[in-house]
C-alpha cells in the first residue's frame, strides 16, 4: 500500500517508524531519530533529514549501519561465470574495507543494473582509498533508501525519466574518433552537432512549441507564445555542444528541463502572459575553435567577424564550417536581442561539482558565476640535440611551461577560491631525442570577482614574462575569452529560491565555479541559475557525470513553479 506524507506526519511514533522501516536495513534508529523532525513538507526534506541523522551519528554507529546492509540480493541474471567473479570480488572487497559491498541495484533512472554494470562498479570501487569508499558506501545506502522511499510513497517519476531519456537519446550523436570508442564529443558544427540540433528541434515541435528554428549560428530556438502578441519574453536555455569525452548532462539539462515545462503547459492548454524562448545554444565549450560562447554571444551582439578566420585542428576555418552547415553568416548581427523586450534569463545546469552531492541536496540556487579569462600561449626556445646539448646551454620551451604550470597552481591556491588550469599542452613536432624548441598551451584562470581574477592574471602573466626572460625564450599570447563574474540578479535569484522552497526542498545558495551561457546574457539582462545535484561526487567534463531522474524532475517542477509565479506577477 502506498503511503502519503500526510499519513507519516499524522501517525503515532511506532506507526510512523514502521512506515520508514524498510529504508535502512536493520537500523531502526535512523527512522526513529529522523521522525523527531516531523512534520515534513516534502520527501526531499525527509530524505535530507535521514542523511543528517546518519551524518551526525558517531563513526562506529555509521560503520555498523554499513555492516548491517545485506549483500546484493538479486543475482538471478548472473551467468555462473559472472556469479563466481562477483563472489571473488565481493570477498576481496570485504577483506579490503571490512564491510560488505553495498550498491543501489538501479541506475540513476531507476533501471535495474546489469550484471556487467555491477561487476564494473565493484571493480572501480575496489580502487578507492578506504575513506572515500566508506563515503561511497554510505551514499549507496542513501540512494537505496531514496529508491525505496519513492516506491513506498508512490512517486511518479515520469517527467524526470522523460528528460533523462532525451539526454540518453541525444548522447547517441558523437563526433568521429570518439563515437567509435563509445565516447560523447559534440563540437561546433560537426555532423553530430547538426544532428543534435535536428533532434532537439524535432522534440521541441513534439512538445508543442509554436515556433522552432535553427538560427544563423546554429542555436536551436523554440518559442512558446504568450497569451498576447505584445507580451515581453523570458529567455531560458543552455548549450548542446560538449567537451571531449564528456558527460551527457552538462548544458543539455538546461534545454530539456524547460522543454518538459512547455510540454506540460501545452498539454494543459495553458498560455503564459509572457513569451517563453527556450534556446539550445550551439557552442559554449570552446573546443573546436578558440572563440567561445558563439551561441549565447551572438544574441548579445558579441560575435566578432575576425573569429571567422580561426581554424580548427584540421585547418577548416570557422567561416567554411558555417557555410558548410548552411548557416547564413550575414544574418548573425540580426540575432542580437533587444533586451528591453526581455524579462530576463534563467538557466538550469548540473552543478558540475561535489557540493550538493556531499550535502545530500537535490537543488542549489546560484548566487554568482566566477569570472574567467583564457589564453593560448606559445613559448619559443631552441630545438637541439637531446644527447649533446649540456643542461646549462638549453632553451627548453617545455620546462619553462612546466615552471609556469607549478606557479599557476601555487598562485591560484593562495587565493583560496581562485582556480588556474593548463588543460592543453603540447610540444608541436616534438621528438624523444630533441630538446623542445616550442611549447603550446592553454591557460584558464578564474575567480569569484573580476578584481581577484585580474590580480591572478597579472601575476601569472608577469611570471610567464619573467620565466621566459630568465631562460632566454620568446612567447606569444592570445586572449581567447574574457567573461566577467556574473552575480545573480537578486529578484531572479529570489524567484528560484521561492520555487525551490515551494517544493519543500531545503534551500541552499552557492556560487558557480564553471562558466555558463548565463554569463553572456548577464551583460544585457538580469539572470539567475538553478543547479541540479550531480552523482559520482559531482564529477563533470567526464563520462561519469550523472544525475538522477528524481533530481531532474525536481528541477523541472521548480522551473514550472517559477514560471507560474512569474505569470502571476506579470500584468496580463
- Residues that bind ligand GLV in the complex, under the rule CB under 6 A: 285, 514-515
Q: How far is the CB of 351 from Mn ion (least distance, A)?
A: 11
Q: How far is the CB of 247 from ligand GLV (least distance, A)?
A: 11
Nearer to Mn ion, 250 or 444 (CB): 250
Nearer to ligand GLV, 160 or 280 (CB): 280
Nearer to Mn ion, 72 or 514 (CB): 514
Q: How far is the CB of 251 from ligand GLV (least distance, A)?
A: 8
Query: In the chain, helix, strand, coil percent, each to 5?
Result: 45, 15, 35
Query: By CB under 5 A, is residue 538 in contact with Mn ion?
Result: no
Q: What is the 3-state secondary structure (H, E, C) of 299-354?
A: HCCCCCHHHHHCECCCCCEHHHHHHHCCCCHHHHHHHCCCHHHEEEEEEEEECCCC
β-pair partners for 279:
221, 237
Question: How far apart (Å, rounded) are the C-alpha atoms in residues 347 and 532?
Answer: 11
Q: Is the dihedral of CA 177, 183, 185, 189 positive or negative?
A: positive
Question: How far apart (Å, rounded) are the C-alpha atoms in residues 311 and 318?
Answer: 6
Nearer to ligand GLV, 445 or 514 (CB): 514
Nearer to ligand GLV, 167 or 223 (CB): 167
Q: How far is the CB of 345 from ligand GLV (least distance, A)?
A: 17
Question: How far apart (Å, rounded) are the C-alpha atoms in residues 17 and 33?
Answer: 9
Query: By CB under 5 A, is residue 108 in contact with Mn ion?
Result: no
Nearest-5° Cα angle at 314, 313 to 315: 95
Query: By CB under 5 A, is residue 250 in contact with Mn ion?
Result: yes
For the residues of 109-125, what is the DSSP string, one character each? TSPBPPHHHHHHHHHHH
Q: How far is the CB of 354 from ligand GLV (least distance, A)?
A: 16
Burial 188-198 (b: 16+ CB within 10 A, else e): bbbebbbebbe
Q: How far is the CB of 230 from ligand GLV (least distance, A)?
A: 36
Nearer to Mn ion, 251 or 526 (CB): 251
> Segment contacting Mn ion (CB under 5 A): 142-150, 248-256, 482-490, 524-532?
248-256
Nearer to ligand GLV, 150 or 515 (CB): 515
Could you tell me if residue 326 is left (phi over 0), alpha (psi between -120 and 50 degrees) or otherwise beta? left
- Partner whose binding site includes residue 517, from Mn ion, ligand GLV, none (CB under 5 to 8 Å by kind): none
Q: How far is the CB of 519 from ligand GLV (least distance, A)?
A: 9
Q: Is the dihedral of CA 382, 386, 392, 398 positive or negative?
A: positive
**Three-class SS state of 214:** strand
Nearer to Mn ion, 369 or 383 (CB): 369
CA distance to 16, 40, 44, per residue, from 7 (Å): 8, 11, 16
- Partner whose binding site includes residue 515, from ligand GLV, Mn ion, none (CB under 5 to 8 Å by kind): ligand GLV
Q: How far is the CB of 66 from Mn ion (least distance, A)?
A: 34
Q: How many CB atoms lie within 10 A of CB 391?
A: 7
> Segment contacting Mn ion (CB under 5 A): 184-192, 244-252, 467-475, 481-489?
244-252
Q: Quick one: which of 375, 557, 395 has its CA closest to 474?
A: 395
> Segment contacting Mn ion (CB under 5 A): 128-136, 220-228, 245-253, 550-558?
245-253
- Partner whose binding site includes residue 445, from ligand GLV, Mn ion, none (CB under 5 to 8 Å by kind): none
373 CB contacts (<8 Å, ≥6 apart)?
A: 444, 445, 446, 453, 457, 479, 481, 482, 483
Q: How far is the CB of 371 from ligand GLV (least distance, A)?
A: 11
Task: Say if CB 264 and CB 309 are below 8 A apart.
Answer: no
Nearer to Mn ion, 27 or 536 (CB): 536
Query: By CB under 5 A, is residue 251 in contact with Mn ion?
Result: yes
Q: Which residue is nearest to ligand GLV (CB)?
A: 515
- Partner whose binding site includes residue 280, from ligand GLV, Mn ion, none (CB under 5 to 8 Å by kind): none
* Interface ranges with Mn ion (CB under 5 A): 250-251
Amino acid at each position: 500500500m502506498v503511503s502519503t506524507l500526510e499519513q507519516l506526519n499524522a501517525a503515532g511514533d511506532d506507526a510512523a517508524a514502521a512506515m520508514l522501516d524498510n529504508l535502512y536495513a536493520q537500523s531502526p534508529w535512523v527512522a526513529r531519530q529522523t521522525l523527531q523532525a516531523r512534520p515534513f513538507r516534502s520527501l526531499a526534506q525527509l530524505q535530507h533529514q535521514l542523511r543528517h541523522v546518519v551524518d551526525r551519528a558517531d563513526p562506529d554507529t555509521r560503520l555498523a549501519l554499513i555492516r548491517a546492509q545485506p549483500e546484493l540480493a538479486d543475482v538471478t541474471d548472473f551467468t555462473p561465470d559472472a556469479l563466481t567473479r562477483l563472489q571473488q570480488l565481493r570477498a576481496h572487497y570485504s577483506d579490503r574495507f571490512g564491510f560488505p559491498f553495498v550498491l543501489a541495484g538501479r541506475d540513476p533512472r531507476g533501471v535495474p543494473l546489469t550484471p556487467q554494470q555491477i561487476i564494473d562498479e565493484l571493480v572501480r570501487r575496489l580502487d578507492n582509498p578506504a575513506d572515500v569508499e566508506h563515503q561511497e558506501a554510505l551514499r549507496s545506502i542513501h540512494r537505496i533508501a531514496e529508491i525505496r522511499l519513492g516506491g513506498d510513497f508512490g512517486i511518479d517519476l515520469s517527467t524526470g525519466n522523460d528528460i533523462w531519456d532525451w539526454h540518453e537519446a541525444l548522447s547517441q550523436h558523437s563526433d568521429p574518433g570518439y563515437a567509435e570508442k563509445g565516447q560523447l564529443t559534440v563540437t561546433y558544427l560537426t555532423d553530430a552537432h547538426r544532428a543534435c540540433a535536428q533532434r532537439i528541434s524535432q522534440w521541441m515541435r513534439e512538445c508543442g512549441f509554436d515556433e522552432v528554428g535553427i538560427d544563423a549560428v546554429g542555436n536551436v530556438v523554440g518559442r512558446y507564445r504568450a497569451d498576447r502578441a505584445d507580451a515581453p519574453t523570458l529567455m531560458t536555455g543552455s548549450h548542446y555542444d560538449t567537451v571531449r569525452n564528456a558527460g551527457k548532462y552538462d548544458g543539455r539539462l538546461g534545454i530539456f528541463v524547460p522543454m518538459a515545462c512547455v510540454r506540460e503547459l501545452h498539454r494543459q492548454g495553458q498560455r503564459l502572459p509572457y513569451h517563453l524562448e527556450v534556446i539550445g545554444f550551439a557552442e559554449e565549450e570552446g573546443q573546436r575553435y578558440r572563440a567561445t560562447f558563439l551561441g549565447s554571444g551572438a544574441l548579445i551582439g558579441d560575435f566578432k567577424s575576425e573569429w571567422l578566420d580561426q581554424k580548427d585542428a584540421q585547418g577548416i576555418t570557422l567561416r567554411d564550417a558555417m557555410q558548410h552547415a548552411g548557416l547564413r553568416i550575414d544574418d548573425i548581427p540580426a540575432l542580437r536581442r533587444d533586451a528591453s523586450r526581455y524579462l530576463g534569463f534563467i538557466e538550469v545546469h548540473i552543478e558540475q561539482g561535489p557540493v550538493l552531492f556531499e550535502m545530500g541536496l537535490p537543488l542549489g540556487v546560484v548566487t554568482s558565476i566566477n569570472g574567467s579569462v583564457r589564453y593560448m600561449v606559445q613559448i619559443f626556445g631552441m630545438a637541439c640535440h637531446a644527447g649533446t646539448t649540456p643542461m646549462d646551454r638549453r632553451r627548453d620551451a617545455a620546462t619553462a611551461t612546466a615552471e609556469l604550470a607549478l606557479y599557476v597552481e601555487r598562485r591560484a591556491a593562495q587565493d583560496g577560491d581562485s582556480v588556474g588550469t593548463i588543460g592543453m599542452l603540447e610540444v608541436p613536432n616534438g621528438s624523444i631525442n630533441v630538446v623542445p624548441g616550442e611549447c603550446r598551451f592553454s591557460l584558464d584562470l578564474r575567480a569569484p570577482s573580476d578584481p581577484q581574477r585580474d590580480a591572478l592574471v597579472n601575476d601569472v602573466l608577469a611570471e610567464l614574462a619573467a620565466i621566459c626572460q630568465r631562460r632566454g625564450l620568446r612567447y606569444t599570447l592570445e586572449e581567447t575569452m574574457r567573461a566577467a563574474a556574473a552575480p545573480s540578479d537578486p529578484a531572479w535569484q529570489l524567484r528560484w529560491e521561492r520555487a525551490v522552497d515551494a517544493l519543500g526542498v531545503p534551500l541552499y545558495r552557492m556560487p558557480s565555479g564553471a562558466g555558463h551561457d548565463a554569463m553572456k546574457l548577464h551583460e544585457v539582462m538580469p539572470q539567475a541559475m538553478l543547479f541540479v545535484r550531480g552523482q559520482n561526487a559531482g564529477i563533470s567534463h567526464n563520462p561519469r557525470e550523472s544525475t538522477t531522474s528524481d533530481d531532474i524532475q525536481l528541477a523541472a517542477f521548480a522551473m514550472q513553479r517559477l514560471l507560474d509565479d512569474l505569470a502571476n506577477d506579470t500584468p496580463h
